[in-house]
Amino acid sequence: MSASVRTVASSVRYEASHEAMGTIFAVVAYGSSSACLEEVVCRAFQEIDRLDDEMSHYKPESELSAINRAAHRQRMAVSPGLFKLLDDSLRYSQETDGAFDITIGPLMKAWGFFRGWGRLPAPQELSEALNRIGYRHVKLDAVTRTVGFDEPGIELDLGAIGKGYAVDRVVEILRAGGITQALVSSGTSSIYALGSPPGEQGWEISVCHPFDRRKTACTLRVQNLSISVSGDYEKSFELGGRIYAHIMDPRSGMPAEHMAMTVVISPSATEGDALSTSFFVRGVERSRVYLECHPDLTAIFYIPARSTHTVEQVVLKSSMTKLPVDRFVRM
């Protein structure tokens, strides 16, 4: 963990970062005491490490890896937090018609994105991977708090939701520790803006352009909301003049196309993380249908234009808004 402290007006500004889940988590927090800020942020980073040990499908000793190895043979007991995340994940899958799917692991391996930058799978390999994915193969029992798979070869991969969930847990710990002004980020994936910096209305967040990370696609001012971003710039490869990105359509087995980046502003980083991925897969019009039925969301789509390295921006908002006055986003 690295950290720095400085005084801003009458407040102490504390900054710290921590490497976990294949990214860098960072916290900027304000308070009256650097010692108190350091103590609470340290607890938050310990929670991230605990979640990584629990949810990682890269670590053989994690709870998730144990589930992946055995849940097709017997029902596996699941810890409360992980069970809720699995339950939420299946709900997002149902609500997005399978565009979000935590059983996508075999597909990511077939395309070479599990530990690398990608490759083109053989047709037979792709067909076999498709036979081993599908959220409906995951069976949860809330009474016994167990999970089982109805087919062998099913694997759970929380990569598209786990970082957002970790950000939400950090925010819970900061609030419980009396911190009301903080910015929590998990690399370029998810950010939560807790309160506002001293003397400001909201946190100013710049979202990088999908084709040139030195440029800004949009600037948002946010308070008590999360921002989650999904883009084809994270992992992709080019073959035959075609770009293959790591964001998969679980139904076709192919990388999602015709989208450069999606941004979702949501009350929950967990929700935003899942929806930025599914909106990337679903596209503008099908995401518009989702927003008509779900409140308090803003979605920004960056669609590749015909001109090289340019994008069209489309902004959609939920038809229903029930946010309290202390939660807002301004563009």
Kindly report, residue by residue over 229-241, the tens digit of the pLDDT: 999 777 788 888 7
Helix (H) or strand (E) holding 289: helix 269-293
Distance CA 131, CA 220 (A): 41
Report the share of the chain in percent with pLDDT over 90.
83
Structural domains counted in the chain: 1
CA dist 168 → 84, 111, 130 (Å):
13, 30, 32
**Terminal CA-CA length for the chain:** 33
One-letter amino acid identity for 171? V
- pLDDT for the residue 141: 98
pTM of the full structure = 0.94
- Rounded Cα–Cα distance for residues 4 and 161 (Å): 29
Q: How far apart are CA 7 and CA 28, in angstroms?
A: 13
Name the pLDDT band for 184 (thresholds 50, 70, 90): very high
Whether residue 221 lies inside any domain: the answer is: no
Residue, of 234 and 181, whose pLDDT is higher: 181
Residue 95 lies in a domain: yes
DSSP-derived secondary structure for 173-198: HHHHTT--EEEEEETTTEEEEES--T
Residue 293: what are its φ and ψ, rounded to 5°? -110, -5
Q: Domain with 87 in it: what CATH number?
A: 1.10.3980.10
Q: How far is CA 142 from the centre of its chain?
A: 24
Q: Which residues pair with 5 in a beta bridge?
A: 14
Residue 17 lies in a domain: no
Q: Is 151 exposed, middle or buried (0-12, 13-18, 19+ CB in 10 A)?
A: middle
CA distances from 104 to 75, 130, 258, 312 (A): 20, 9, 20, 29
Q: Tell me if 134 is assigned to some domain.
A: yes
**pLDDT > 70: percent of the chain:** 96
Beta strands in 260-308 (DSSP E): 261-266, 298-304
Containing domain of residue 87, as a range? 64-149
Interatomic CA distance for residues 152 and 71, integer angstroms: 8
CA 196 to chain centre: 22
3-state secondary structure of 70: helix
**Taking Cα atoms as reference points, which of 1, 15, 61 lies closest to residue 181?**
15
199 assigned to some structural domain: no
Is residue 77 in a domain?
yes
On whether residue 78 sits in a domain, the answer given is yes
> E strands of 250-292, at which residues?
254-255, 261-266
pLDDT at 4: 63
**pLDDT > 70? residue 2:** no
Amino acid letter, residue 224: N
The C-alpha angle with vertex 78 and arms to 77 and 81, in degrees rounded to 5, equals 160
Find how far residue 105's CA is from the centre of its chain. Answer: 16
Region 14-28: what's the mean pLDDT?
A: 97
130 lies in a domain? yes
pLDDT score, position 213:
85
CA distances from 302 to 142, 210, 263, 295 (A): 39, 8, 8, 22
Q: How confident is the model at residue 1 (pLDDT cuts 50, 70, 90)?
A: low
> Does residue 243 carry a pLDDT above 90?
no
Confidence (pLDDT) at 94? 97
